[in-house]
Structure 1
Amino acid sequence: MTGRTLYKVTFLTHGKVYELYARQVESGRLWGFVEVSELVFDVHEGLVVDPTEERLQGEFGNTRTLHLPMQSVLRVEEVEKKGQSAIRDAASGEVVTPFPLPARPR
């Protein structure tokens, strides 16, 4: 570990549960908001690419500070090392893939 604090932030938005990693989490200067900044993404130079991580980086890569309403934040954890970032369906808890899957037979 680099000696810098790392947080796993889990929040709900648009029917999905996002799990992101950040270096800084504070109660917001805007009343009722949590400020999440210095987002951490895996940088892969090889052929193996995590599509979820790539999707999150595409969505939040240029974000300086994420202002989340307090009621949308489900959990903030201080962690030793970065794990897998994820986007889950809020109802089922299943990981949402960035590419379409074939429909399941009923």
Structure 2
Amino acid sequence: MAGSKQRLYRISFMNQGQRYELYAREVSHGAMLGFVEIGKPVFGEKTSVLVDTSEEKLKQEFADVERFYVPVHAIVRIDEVKKAGPVRVVEGGGSGSNVTPLPFYTFGGDSRK
């Protein structure tokens, strides 16, 4: 894509009771049913002496990751943005965590029979 502007996405998703907010260059429905494929994670450049420990933790967690898959029911929001902000992990979903998860259905009907 020479000469064209690369897209940037902010992805918020739930993982083990925490809300992750990351930036990436690629987002798609992926090849695995029920998962969102996220590629080329982006982390902010350091412009000050202060070190954000949550961003450093996420950088280490995603250090060698080129793409990862998040269950579609764990996605809170995906936005296309102009520039990356801080990446973060918020315990318990943080403020605005009034997100009600959608019911989870399995293919094949009711298993209680």
| TM-score, normalised by the number of residues in structure 2 | 0.74
Report matched runs for 1:23-62 at 5 Å.
23-44=25-46, 47-62=49-64
Deviation digits for residues 22-51 of structure 1, max 9, x if unmatched?
000000100000000100012327633221
Structure 2, gaps ≥5 residues long: 96-113
Structure 1, unaligned runs of 5 or more:
94-106
- 1:81 pairs, out of 83, 88, 107, with 83
Give the count of matched residue pairs. 93
Q: Is the 8 A contact 2:12 2:77 kept in 1?
A: yes
**What is the rounded CA distance, in whole Å, between the counterparts of 2:10 and 2:36 in structure 1?**
13
User: 2:68 maps to which residue?
Assistant: 66
Give SS of 1:71's match.
helix
Seen in structure 2, the aligned counterparts of structure 1 residues 78 and 91 have a Cα distance that, compared at 3 Å, is: closer
The root-mean-square deviation of aligned C-alpha atoms, in Å, is 2.0
Q: Quick check: which has more Rg, 1 or 2?
A: 2
CA change 1:7–1:60 in 2 (3 A) is: same
Q: Letter of the 2:54 partner, please give it.
A: T
Match of 1:14 in 2: 16
How far off its partner does 1:91 sit?
Answer: 5.2
**CA 92–52 in structure 1, closer or farther in 2 if over 3 Å, else same:** closer
